[in-house]
Amino acid sequence: MQNKMLYNNAGKNMPTNDSFPCSEFDDWAETYDLSVLNDQFPFIGYKTLLDTIVSLADVKPSDRVLDLGTGTGNLAVRFASMGCGVWGTDFSASMLEKARQKIPSAHFVLNDLRSDWPPELNHPFDRIISAYVFHHFELEQKMHILSNLIHLIEPNGRIIIGDISFQDTRNLETMKIREEGNWEDEFYWLADEAAPTLENLGFKVEYAQVSSCAGVYLLKL
């Protein structure tokens, strides 16, 4: 497949006073791949989380995989190497350029998950995956984004979300104390809160804690 670098809705219908501007991620693109290897919060268990997503995805060659917030393509490249068709979206053009270098065959769309869904990605996927993205969104916004993806999932498809996540508030507070010097207050997942909310959307939910601060959600319809 010929590489496609598509530009559309990033920034459209976005909230003002954005806490996570794309410019910060553009600036981070050059050093991101080194940052995730430091095995410090928030990237404790980074490789294990990506390995777990791949395992739970259980893909076969020719499956169509969509990576939400693909960044520099560290997760997407694993699926491309297994013969999957790969699509990715991110709101940072600089991050996507890094991903394009790793996966010339992939289709990339510059788009923010909080904005209108791009027509270039309005088709079915066997798997929808994501790593270290949804903690930027409040729970209600997480659910809104995921509910809008349901119509894109093929029968017997699945969504796998890996992110900064804790079983409950007690575990989050323990990590916050332990990582006081590195901690930033963001919208981290709490499994005991998120799982029933996801079930209310119609998902069957499985959750696995893969490190002290990372977990993976497997969602099926």
Instruction: Answer yes or no: are the C-beta atoms of 106 and 86 closer than 8 Å.
Output: yes
Task: Provide the token pair at 30.
Answer: 């050059």
Is residue 165 a contact partner of residue 191, using CB atoms and an 8 Å limit?
yes
- pLDDT (0 to 100) of residue 180: 94
Alpha-carbon distance of 75 to 71, in angstroms, equals 9
The CATH class of the 8-13+36-64+117-220 domain is alpha beta
pLDDT band (50, 70, 90) for residue 7:
very low
**Which pTM does this prediction carry?**
0.91
Average pLDDT estimate for 124-151: 97
Q: What is the pLDDT of residues 71-96, one digit of tens each?
A: 999 999 999 999 999 999 999 999 99
What span, in angstroms and rounded, lies between the C-alpha atoms of 70 and 72?
6
- DSSP letter string, 109-151: EE--TTSPPPGGG-S-EEEEEEES-GGGS-HHHHHHHHHTTGG
Each residue's pLDDT tens digit, 17-76: 466 778 888 999 999 999 999 999 999 999 999 999 999 999 999 999 999 999 999 999
Average pLDDT over residues 163-167: 98
In sequence order, what are the residues at sequence separation of 6 or more whose Cβ sits closer than 8 angstroms to the Cβ of residue 5? 96, 97, 100, 108, 110
Has residue 10 got a pLDDT over 70?
no
pLDDT category at 3 given cuts 50, 70, 90 is very low
Of the candidates 200, 35, 10, 5, the residue with the CA atom closest to the CA atom of residue 132: 35
User: CA–CA separation, 170 vs 83, rounded Å?
Assistant: 41
